[in-house]
Chain A
Amino acid sequence: MTLQSLAQILASGLLMGLIYALIAAGLSLIFGLMDVVNFAHGEFLMLAMYATFGIFAATALDPVLATPIVVGAMFVLGAFVYLAVIRYAMRAKANIGMVQVFATFGLGITIRGLAQHFFTPDYRSIQTSWLAGHTLDLAGIFLPVPQLFGAVLSCLSFVALFFVIRRTDFGRALEATREDAGAVALVGIDKNRVFALGWGLGAALVGIAGSVMAIFFYIHPDVGSSFALIAYVTVALGGFGSIFGALAAGLLVGLVEAISATVLSPSMKAIGIYAVYLVVVFMRPRGLFGNL
């Protein structure tokens, strides 16, 4: 293996890793806020991809321009899911952990069924878009432009997310609510409002990832499942609730995937991710940056 091909593997791994981190960030945010793992996260991603495709098919608006619309729609969807489903799951008097797991699983399966019903199980793809098919030649290392666009959006999103959490009233309310959801009510913060906004934000983040991935992935009702598992692994690897952990773990997962696809075989690339994950949680049961 030449130095050049090694650099190529690392570069594509990092690009994909940033996108994985973006998918995982929403999941980790929601978990950190209220200790709920959204097992319908993959379906959120799938819906965002379909939304991007739908906008393109209906109005020929390029995915790059459709991103803000998709992200806005996903924000509304996330808040709605909290208000319509999760709020009630939090009220369960028995087996709360179990109820949350299976309520979100049921939701995911329902969304997949709805997608199959309304969009058919056919594989879709956006044939012509501004970015698709272009590559950037950087000293002999080829970077696919759609992935590069996704990586840039991911970096911007993480900067914005850190800013929102550290510097805004909403971010402080978010932090306070995750510390003690009961106590914030005493200082006039509506817990349900913060949770709904948190879910909206989590879904919006995966919406960004979905609108970018619609450019270079086939879109079908089951597309979310494979990425969802990577997202759960990424979040557990980084530590549930840690946004920085999601970023670091996303990069690690992307790198490991790119390396094991070359060293093992493309069909075995997930084995590398799983192996690294299992070794890490064996040594650090709460992930790399988990401090719960």
Chain B
Amino acid sequence: MASQELPGRDSSAVAPRAEAGGRERERIDHDASLGSFARRRHRKLAVAALTTVAIALLPLVIHDVYLQNIIVLTLMYAALSQSWNILGGYCGQISLGHAIYFGIGAYVSTLLFVHAGLTPWLGMLIGGVFAALVALALGYPFFRLRGHYFTIATIVVAETGLLLMLNWDFAGGAQGIQIPYGPDSWAHLQFARDKLPYVYFALGFALLTWLVTFLIEDSRWGYWWRAVKDNAEAAESLGVVVFRSKMAAAALSAFFTAIGGSFYAAFVSYIDPDSVMGFQLSLLIALPAVLGGIGTLWGPALGALVLIPLTELTRSYFGGSGNGLDLIIYGVLIMVIALARPEGLTSLFGRTRKARATPQARANPEARANP
């Protein structure tokens, strides 16, 4: 949102500034608005710190294991959606195949742990790097695709991965892999009954992705990505390296998504292709950002806060009966928020920002029509 707060810092003006040297930077230094800009960034950090402390204290009040489970999932999806947001929100490449990176993370760390005894901490780093490499390999051919062609390609790639995992017997095939139980340990990320360590891990993960996004938002990459999203041709003509921007966003996004997959595997101790690579997961990774506000710092967290408890609660109340009410609530929620709040839930906060953003959007509807 930083880009919309400052007049003259909107993304169309960003590209040359990002390229410009010291003289340009000096001019900005004298800009009176920079003081308030820095203040706003400090305020964001303060809000994040307070939120983190509040969530960290939450499990001390809520002892119920079921509710703690929901807290873990909410934090995990906030982090996953924050990762998706890097590519989908900031860079404007709508992926509905992020489950493949999640699955890679889950399978790499689990296979390394089960077959080689490697700690999931290392496993998740290896999985993350592997997922980033896969994202680069896939990005090379697919970043030539535009709009819906790109989105459908991401769905197909993830489905291909799913089919391969279903038929790969070494990795458990359709039956999946059960992680053997051991004594509780941080080294193995295994805690038989205690949910608390998972809450703190997920909180750290969510905070990490938030911080990365926070830092990127105001970096050269952040401005480049938004320029690519708004109008790739215009960005390219102003010197933004469009292809490399997309590749960087994809690699970073895949890396953190895979870490989420490794964490999930350790958390539930059992993975199978449908639960860690299915299409529903891709949708669930993207949705919090969409509901909260794509390309915004707080959107994914806010969206996850609304979506995940709601889907978990409706699923446990109605899901088992198979009468479809959970699906109806889920579907209507997606539809209503998409239609009623296209900017996402974050737009409910800070009216001045919206008032400023709207004429800009009206003046240039073409740029937003085709993400």
Contacts and interface: CB of A to CB of B under 8 A. Distances in A.
Interface of A: 31, 35, 37, 85, 88-89, 92-99, 101-103, 105-118, 120-121, 221, 225, 229, 232-233, 236, 240, 265, 267-268, 270-271, 274-275, 277-278, 281-282, 285-287
B328 A114 contact: yes
A88 B322 CA distance: 31
A110 B342 contact: no
A96 B332 contact: no
B155 A101 contact: no
B322 A92 contact: no
B334 interface: yes
Interface of B: 94, 141-142, 144-149, 151-153, 155-157, 159-160, 163-164, 166-167, 279, 283, 287, 290, 294, 322-336, 338-339, 342-343, 357-358, 361-362, 365, 368-371
A98 B94 contact: yes
A180 to B, nearest CB: 13
A105 B283 contact: yes
A240 B331 contact: no
A99 B156 contact: no
Contacts of B361: 93-94
B369 A102 contact: no
Given A93-B361, A98-B294, A270-B163, A85 B322 contact: no
Nearest to B339: A88
A95 B294 CA distance: 8
Contacts, number: 159
B interface, over-half SS = helix
Contacts of B157: 274, 278
Contacts of A105: 283, 334
Given A97-B147, A97-B369, A101-B94, A267 B331 contact: no
Contact of A102 (B153, B290, B323): B290
B364 to A, nearest CB: 11
Contacts of B338: 89, 98-99, 102-103, 106
A112 B343 contact: no
A95 B327 CA distance: 25
Contacts of A281: 142, 145, 149, 153
